[in-house]
Structure 1
């Protein structure tokens, strides 16, 4: 296989149900797009494996590892994904999701040249170990982590932060050529998802997405505060 790809999709309660539907529809539609199919077929081997995970404080594998090697298999995967119910899971644990996702690579029934976790989310980690700890452990295994920070609106009761893209860049993504694509309006889901998938499948180095090659060890109080989600959760518990 050219690629084994985990699509890790945020279904925490901070995501509005309409946003969740748009996000799911974006992935369902993407596997029907000629651009995505061309990206698969133009790879050195012309085959990828994909699995879909939904996560909050814990993670669930929604679809098994599935071979995609052209229009027919992509269409069948799109239909399989379309028929799955959308679940909601409390809390936001990027770290648990990365740990869950990297274990899935042990179950891939194919040998893959590249391994990528594509994780979306609308808030910082607030459960489990800090995100950079899981990020560094994942990257150390040769797995690339790309990000899709979702920033369409800020609510007074949300656990999100205004610079979520910065958080993802500094604390979540990592590995050679890692990049993020942010969503600032609900109407951008389909375009952002397709752009991101085509880039990941093609293996393109997209400098305008500010790729990250080597994550730095997490350090409290140095540079970006990668513990912001845990601190927010602690303040909420202490009220």
Structure 2
């Protein structure tokens, strides 16, 4: 793969707390974000003119839903959106194993086959960690390896989830956490989050 400005792993919660309709809103929101002109433009805004994106679904187990894809414009962004639309919900619903999910995302970043100016793990979910390796030490390993870890907390079930993500998940240069009230608001929130990540942490509308 040719060099990119950013290698971005989208690590998305598909645990039992995410029902069928919520999964559809989440996956549909991600796909819709990559179909917007501002995200397509943000993908190409850096000096290398491209980003690379992968999609990981996590629960008690983890599964790569979309492998690394280079995006340098609207056509490639549309192809990624179609791949997200067609990605099956694997693994099956299970516990909110946030730490193992983050570890799988970091491993996917470590396997990125190209040169990237920045490495970012983008974690989205609606529940606090409740199974397996705790997220804080995983976060510290990722930060030590040069990865920035950001988070989007969906507050429909746990109103204090943002504080958990801020304390246990995010880290690295320019790291931030955002929240949205529910999955109906996910599409707008993830679009703003993606722009902020692609533009290097600049606060965007």
**TM-score, with length taken from structure 2:** 0.93
Q: Give 2:72's aligned residue.
A: 69
Distance in 2 between residues matched to 1:114 and 1:192, nearest whole Å: 22
* 1:37 is the counterpart of 2:69: no
Which residue does 2:110 correspond to in 1?
106
Return the offset for 1:107. Answer: 2.1
1:14-65 CA-partner distances (Å, limit 9, x unpaired): 1122111100000111111100011112111111111000001121101111
Q: How does 1:16-165 map to 2 (within 5 A)?
A: 16-87=19-90, 88-152=92-156, 154=157, 161-165=158-162
Would you say the 8 A contact 1:63–1:81 is kept in 2? Answer: yes
- How far, CA to CA, are the matches of 1:207 and 1:191 in structure 2? 12
Q: Which has the higher strand share?
A: 2
Task: Output the CA distance in 2 between the equivalents of 1:204 and 1:175.
Answer: 12
The number of aligned residues is 201
Runs of 4+ in 1 over 3 A off after TM superposition: 205-208
1:219-238 equivalence runs, <5 A: none
Match of 1:188 among 173, 182, 185: 185
Q: In the aligned structure 1, how far is the partner of 2:58 from the partner of 2:12?
A: 6
Q: CA RMSD in A?
A: 1.6
Q: Which residue of 2 aligns with 1:235?
A: none
Q: Which is higher, the Rg of structure 1 or of structure 2?
A: 1
Superposition deviation, residue 109 in structure 1 = 2.1
**1:133 to partner: Cα distance:** 0.9
Q: TM-score, normalised by structure 1?
A: 0.80
